[in-house]
Structure 1
Amino acid sequence: MLWQSSLKFAQIIPMQPHRKSSVKVLSGLMLASILSLPSPGLADENLAGKYYENALVAYQKQDLDAAIIELRNALQQNPNYVAAHILLGKLFLQKKSLSEAEVHLNLANQLGADRSLTVKALAQLYLYQIKYNQLLKEIQPSQFNRQLQPDLHVFRGHAYLQLNQISEALNEYDIAAQIDPSRVDAVIGRANALLRRNDLAGATQAVEKAMAMQPDNPGNWYVKGSIEHVQGDLENAIKDYDKAITLLPDYQDARIARAGVLMDLQQDQRADEDLAYLRKHYPFDPKAAYLHAVLLARNGQQAASIKELEAASDIIVAVKPEYLVQHSQTLMLSGLINYSLQRFDLAAEYLRQYVKSYPGQPGPYKLLASILLNKNEPETVIDLLRPVVASNPNDYRLLFLLGTAYMNVGKHDKANALLEKASAGEDGGENIHAEIGLNRLSMGQETLAIQELEAAIQKNPGNTQAGIPLVAIYIRNGEGQNALRIAQAMHKKQSKNLTLLNLLGTAQVATQNLKQARQSFEQAVELDPTFITGHLNLSKLDVAEKKIDKAKQRLVALNQKFPDNVAVLIELSTVDQAIGNNDSANQWLEKARRIDQKSMPVLLAQMDLNIKTGRTLQALSIGEAAELIDRENPQLLQALARSYLASNNREKALSIYRRMADQARLNVKKLYNVARYQIQAGDYSDAIKTLKKAIVADEKHIPAQIALTEMELYHGKPVFALSRANNLLKAYPQSGFPNRLLGDIAAQDKNFSLAATRYQTAFDLEPDTALLMKLYQSLNQTGQNQKAFDLLAEWTKKHPKDLVPIAALAEELLQQGKLKEAQKHYEFLLTQYPNEAQFLNNLAYIYFSSGDSKASSYAEKAQQLAPEQASSNDTLGWILVNTGKVDEGLHYLRSAHSRESQNPEIRYHIAVALDKLGRKDEAKQELEQALNSNLSFNGIEQAKALSEKLSQ
């Protein structure tokens, strides 16, 4: 029975410095509540387990169709049955049903499968799908046990070979052979690679070696035939290909090669037989489709040939329509509308036409220049504005835009002269500081933007142009006091301004002055009862204070007064989601959409609800319709990407993120956010590119610097990470994060002593929970276990509500066998997180070990809350097996194994269950696997005794 590591708890509870408030406020000057969804209904696990065991029996008999039917039945009972998804994925791959294989393998991984059980199937799938780069990016042999590594190196060799990267392919094959010298496929791979390099002697030598190792391996005959093919000995090549296909009728490469030779020999009928076989069994192979097209054309079947060529083609041509608008007012209006909708490319085209036709008006030039700057086209802006500034030498906005363009191309003398002249105008430069700040903000340069906006505020504390965005920035960054300072100053100047009164209330929430915030919002709605935003913020306060009924009553009354206000309907939906009433929540949003079919907030809210409730097709349908309204809305694009990820269309999601990165241009904040999405989706190479672009935009953006360093360390080039971290240490010697990064680099290099030193330095400068846990782990890794234990104990005494280190301390006590002390901590943790499966599981382990009858109920609840975790399935399964419910227990033990296949204790538990069911041979196999792992585990002596008993 497994207990679960508390180190994973750091991923469950957001780790915040103990001194900071946990109250959070969303940007957009509105309050927010965190929603939670109810747990799905319980499946018939026992029946699902029986169907799975039936599938295993059918699979062992190679009755694939029967096995698939049993597995589908199992998934009807439990759609999240990982073991069933794994086996289904492999079966569909065997049947060459690639899309279905991909769905089930990806679902298995998403549901927490042990990747060592799916990685080989995924590698083969990627080869079939011609996703060679994805294979190389995602499948890293070092992440898996040594037994699996040769297979994965061979797969990587095949991918490199298809990419014609011969040296890399040879390296992979050689590594596979070094790990396991008996791997004939590595030798065959090497022969194939040498043949690609035209090293016929080397290829022949490798084939001879492979033949000596395994003369009936079809790969040997295929490569031998390929060598003869290259040498022009087509008759013998055919014979060798025939031999390969006789040994393995499904041999794809051999059939393609034979078809090509047969076509060269004008034996079209035999070639057609091979190609027909390939098109039937490998419909996803473009080479077969292409050869078939050639064969059809050669035989005068032009239409069929074209159809096959189209099947082989994967080219999508996107055509953007061009619009010609002659009327000047319409032309200008089109530019303004598209600019407002952030369709900058279209807006720029309209404005270019406008200034070309009507050059005397400076306004359109300013708008066009702003767009071009945002598109990082400063040279174009300079050419555009120089003659306009000459005609309008005192227009501070034109001066500012031209100065910014010069600054962006490095002509700082000209830039400074223009910007100083712009600052001298407009009442001492107050507005130009605001303009510069807003421009910096639009480019994502937040630190520089804050400086300019603060300069405007110093000149005039009531400057709303600078003050309103500054308050929003400070709230978003958790600097509530700064936000409140500026909001109070603006409100003092305009005490009856509803926007500023609402802004003041939001700043008061950010500083946890909820009573004052309520007074501000109430004052706003007293001044104007139709001020919807004030009412909505009052309802959000109600939700934040757990007064859900009051919030609902307030919103229902508001809806009666303003039945067509979609913001009220969206908030009603949010409140219903908070109490788990998703059907009612959806009805509110449907009503809102009937009122305004093009409302982006409504469409986004609908997409979010559909994604949360698993209705991904509906979310995609809404998102694709919304995209026709606004292709460049970043919130929509993110929602679309989430929908594609939820529907297992990862490639489409990643393409959207790339699009978002392109649209962000040099806006560092936008680029950083896109990079975060790419990281979450596992697209590390593109995330690195995006973060590099972000740092080009603003090298002082610390989150991007940190993220890029981490990405280079774990998914890029570690030497770059080290260089970046050292540069950051020079630039920020009194901050903790450079030493933390250097500690991460040392830990990655397994230099745990240096890591501990770096983490200790960082911890001394800026102690927080995250660094505490890194320091704790590095101390353990250097054998300083007592110091690590003392570190946790001391921290938890000073911070008795910091749950992550308490969970780690509980685990330490559990490892030491101090069950009563560990029990005390876990019981406390459960008072804070009563539905945390990890704590329930570990308590079930403790209770079971001490004979406490509560063990079963705690294990059941843990498994219901975390069916994806091996530990919770193993604990429940083992308890059931030991309490007479063997069939039911075996199902949970299978689920545990599918998530942690290398754990010998789980295999031992499965063996006990199989033995109790009379399946002695299977039990013996499981015990052999467990004991041959050479790993120690709880129950190892009992496992040896059972193995000896079964061997008699």
Structure 2
Amino acid sequence: MNTRNSMHLLRKATASALLATLLLVGCGGEKPETMLSSAKAFLAKNDHKAAAIQLKNALQQDPQLPEARFLLAKALLEGGDPTGAEVELRKAQNLNYPADQVTPLLARTMLMLGQPEKVTEELAKVQLTTPEAKADLQTSVGQAYLMQGKEEQAAAAYAAAVVAQPGHAPALLGEARLKAGRGDLPGALALLDSALEKQPRLYDAWQLKGDLFAAQGDAAAATNAYRKALEIKPDYLPAHSAIVRILLAEGKLDDAGKQIEVLKQIAPNHPQTQYLRAMLAYQQKDYAAARDAILLHLKVVPESPLGLQLAGLIEYDSQAFPQAEAYLLKALPRTPPLSIARRVLIASYLRNAQPSKALGVLEPVLDKIDKDSNMLALAGQVFLQNGQVDKAGTYFAKATALDPKNPAKRTSLAMVNMAKGDSDVAFRDLEQVAAADTGSRADLALIAAHLQRREFDQALKAIAVLEKKQPDNPLTHNLRGTALLGKRDAAAARKSFEKALALNPAYFPAAANLANLDLNEKKPEDARKRFESVLEKDPKNVQAFMALAQLRAKAGGTTAEIATLIGKAVTANPTDPAPRLALIGLYLGKKETKSALSAAQEAVAALPERPEILDAAGRAQQAAEDYNQALATYGKMAALQPNSPLPYLRMAEIQVAAKNKDAALQNLQKALQVKPDSLEAQRGIMLLDLDAGRSKEALEVAREVQKQRPKEAIGYLFEGDAHAAKKAWVEAAAAYRVGLKEAPSADLAVKLHTALLAGGNTAEADKFAETWLKEHAKDNRFRLYLAEMSGARKDYAGAARQYRILLEAQPENPVVLNNMAWVAGQLKDPKAIEYAEKANKLAPDQPALLDTLAVLLMDKGDAARALGLFKKALELAPQASQIRLNYARALIKAGKNSEARSELDQLAKLGDKFPAQAEVAQLLKGL
């Protein structure tokens, strides 16, 4: 540091010290009692800021002044700082300030903080002495019960308030709220009119009257009532807020903005002011301003249900789905059953391909949605994505019956018909809706169905219709490119993808498709530049960063190089869990436990309330054998997800590894308390019982599962009793037969065939399969299952028959071609390699397909090419242990024993994690 800078800093420090000294001297002139009197005068004038300053000065000189603490709490509360008010009230309590004054104000403060449970738990039974204090407290207790939906307790509290002080207006208002909540709006209005007759200047009665008019849809009458309240008390915040809400609901955003400006003059820092600012900005689609305002609101009232809900909506519409989920999960238990929080959380899970989570949020309200067409349609989507086609159809049908002209619901019903196999009806319905609807949902459903069925010409026709509606949407051109790729017209596909990127240079799906084309043409540098171009336009694009990391991994990059690229995604998106999870997963996959732990610690520090981050951290700690820390982490996860059995299942797994089976059993039982039908928990308990020699108890658990889930094939649960296992599979098969009669589907057909085989009824299983295929000749799903089962039973001729029929229907399906190649190889069919070559051409760089071709080439004697393919497959999938074993066999066959030993040693280190250790040991022994 140079001398000039040193002198400047010294002078600055000296000046600051002198100023502080002068301030202390200035304060020292007044006694605390004088400042206390001054503060009371300011409070009488409603100058809360000046009062707070004087009270803080008084407390600086004498922190033990109980009245100053109490008055400071009042000033802070009136100024919109309930958090600070609660702190001061607690201090006043500790200084023995009269409970008759502290307790009622504390109750109101806690209500403002959104803590009704704390009010009823801590204060409901507090005994006060004066009638006014009793009435005030019991009114707050009644409001707290009402906020929790406990109407009987609320009514009793309001009645106690009126007994303590007859005619206590706030209690009468509470009783009016109760009547209104029960649907007795006339009775509630009559109570209010009676109260206003006696006390016409009861501004909060006018406020509630406005609320009742608003509930009846009479916005004009409601606004008039709110303005009456403001005539009596111009700074009455609830009335200002209610007027803003009406203006926002009517779309009068400019008028709402003007009213908020008035509100800011009265209470600029009040959480309600910040909430309304956030609402206005949200409706104006200014998500950055909305986020800033709602964060200020939540800073003061972190448990605010409406604040958390609005914060979730803001993040959802900003496409920050992980943040939206965090807010909405917090809001869910604090908002009504069919709140916006629940709807948006379900939609968010569906949008992010997490249908099981969506189902978990939906199930608690299924009995409440029969008259809500939107929730019925949402339920249909949830069940459809969870594979429960029949249930989905039921809910879509109910939604369509309530709202028959809604194209979205007709589209959903058509998709269910598609899933059931009624494709002709489904396509007709989709085409009709797409033609009539200006939106794109039906078009997209139609295109997706054609692409899934590999009907590329029909898909292109549907895409042309969509393009007329949305010519400038990059999605349209990306879909066309996908269809053209299906027709193996790579040049035309490339042009479509390029057009999509021309419309939106940051459109990742098109960039990814072009990168795949570049890789197929052996141009990895061009592929890399695609993603770098996306990042130039969108520097925070997580997908682009992750794609670059995957490219580096395919190119043989080191763990450090791959981690650096993922780290850039983390830096650009510190609140996005996806790259952090990828980084932890990378290190765990490479067995770099210390690095995984470090990445997990950073992730938890940044996102301490994200369950998936805690889950990943727990896995890293378990890998490091730090079982105590892992258990603590999953304990935090359990606190965040009280309705999820997963944390307890994870803890049980850790305790089994730590050989603490009693503790593991306790956690499995906790998992069952959370989710009584958790098959994982039940199976874990049964296995622990078997391990401890408690076969009787194990069988009881298994039979309980059978009662709860009669249509589940759970015979494997009876591992300790072969006879019981066979009986269970027979019972499961009987249940599936009933299910097939009620609603035939490929899913149930597969389950029935599986149960028949497991129950030892092979002949009956074969007969059922033959009958089913005669009646459902186009059921390719069941046929594929049958082919795979035949292959597993080494009935290669039977498998080949099914695969040939499948290939007639889907000649360019790489999975079917690959499976056919394998079966043909077992049958010594000379066309085996031809099938495998075609599969690899249609789906290049797929490890499983490369492995099949390599094995067949090795059998043919083409060792050089086979070994090259094995090596490439392992570069793409280094954790694929079966491919590594096949590679080791090939190396031995080629006389490369030292290289084979290296591969086999890697497999041997996996221990029980790789089931073919007996063969590994035999091969090592022979080297």
Q: What TM-score, normalized to structure 1?
A: 0.39
Larger Rg: 2
